[in-house]
């Protein structure tokens, strides 16, 4: 499933939101969440019918399903529950360290990615503000914000575990964010934008920086290190452009190619192409 500037594509066909800019995707019970025009959230059913959850109070940068609630990262690094009138997450507003969040260009920080783990822990990546972990008691920071994280995902099978793509490489935690480990071993350049994991295999995009020089896709593990498995590309494989499940891995290229591997990144085929790629999920 690929979000693009002209609709939601599955296997190369537009199945919903034809002619609209679909900017963000996330899995949800009984279907998916999708954002159109960076402002309106929708719940998409298995038959690709969609129901609007309303419009956020500011631009939506990320979305996730926290239980049965659709939660969006909006505006200047805020969280809103969406299902009718937006409901601000006051605990996230009060997170320790908020006053130190920033962007290199001087604009407001943003919640770049969101996810929820098997144990109910909620993960939020602020750019630039590190990774926060949340539960019913509130949100707490877990790392130095200058690691410059661009995506966080919960491990799909291991409770209390998560992965991060950051300017310092691939990060992981196995203790709910109490500690993080990092590696860029095997990477030509450590600036990472996207991360996915399937079993013991981790996948991360890496380049020389925001401009995407030496942009590659890497695979490996914390113990064995990383190795290139696709690329090079002229621009970064961006946040939300990479997904893995079992032996299947898929990613978007900067030019709109939908690349799929059925052997954990050993070989790749272009499944189809889209204009203006935005996000990708395996369904």
Q: What is the pLDDT along the chain (283 residues), one digit of tens a residue?
A: 999 999 999 999 999 999 999 999 999 999 999 999 999 999 999 999 999 999 999 999 999 999 999 999 999 999 999 988 899 999 999 999 999 999 999 999 999 999 999 999 999 999 999 999 999 999 999 999 999 999 999 999 999 999 999 999 999 999 999 999 999 999 999 999 999 998 889 999 999 999 998 999 999 998 889 999 999 999 999 999 999 999 999 999 999 999 999 999 999 999 999 999 999 999 8
- Give pLDDT, residue 85: 87
Q: Which residues contact 105 (CB under 8 A, 6 or more apart)?
A: none
- Give pLDDT, residue 200: 86
Q: What angle do CA 35, 205, 75 make, to 5 degrees?
A: 35
Beta pairing, strands 257-261 & 225-233: unpaired
**For the chain, what are the domain ranges?**
1-82
The model's pTM: 0.96
Tell me how far apart the 2 most distant CA atoms of the chain are, in Å: 48
Q: What would the CATH number be for the domain defined by 1-82?
A: 2.40.10
Residue entry with tokens 């990479």: 242
H, E, C per residue of 230-248? EEEECCCCCCCCEEEECCE
Buried b (16+ CB within 10 A) or exposed e, 78-98: bbbbbbeebeebeebeebeeb
């Amino acid at each position: 499933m690929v979000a693009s500037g002209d609709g939601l594509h599955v296997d190369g066909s537009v199945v919903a939101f034809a002619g609209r800019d679909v900017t963000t995707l996330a899995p949800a019970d009984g279907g998916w969440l999708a954002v159109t025009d960076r402002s309106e959230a929708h719940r998409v059913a298995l038959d690709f019918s969609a129901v609007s959850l309303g419009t956020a109070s500011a631009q939506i940068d990320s979305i996730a399903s926290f239980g049965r609630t659709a939660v969006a990262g909006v505006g200047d690094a805020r969280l809103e529950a969406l299902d009718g009138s937006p409901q601000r997450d006051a605990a996230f507003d009060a997170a320790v360290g908020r006053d130190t969040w920033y962007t290199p260009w001087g604009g407001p920080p943003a919640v770049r990615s969101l996810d929820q783990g098997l144990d109910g822990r909620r993960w939020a990546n602020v750019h630039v503000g590190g990774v926060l972990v949340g539960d019913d008691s509130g949100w707490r920071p877990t790392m130095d914000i200058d690691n410059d994280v661009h995506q966080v995902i919960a491990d799909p099978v291991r409770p209390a575990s998560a992965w991060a793509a950051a300017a310092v490489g691939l990060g992981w935690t196995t203790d709910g964010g109490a500690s993080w480990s990092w590696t860029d071993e095997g990477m030509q350049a450590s600036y990472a934008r996207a991360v996915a994991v399937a079993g013991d295999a981790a996948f991360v995009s890496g380049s020389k920086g925001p401009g995407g020089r030496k942009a590659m896709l890497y695979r490996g593990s914390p113990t064995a290190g990383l190795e290139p498995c696709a690329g090079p590309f002229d621009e970064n494989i961006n946040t939300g452009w990479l997904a893995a499940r079992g032996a299947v891995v898929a990613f978007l290229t900067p030019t709109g190619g939908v690349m799929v591997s059925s052997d954990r990144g050993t070989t790749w085929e272009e499944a189809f192409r889209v204009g203006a790629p935005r996000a990708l999920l395996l369904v």
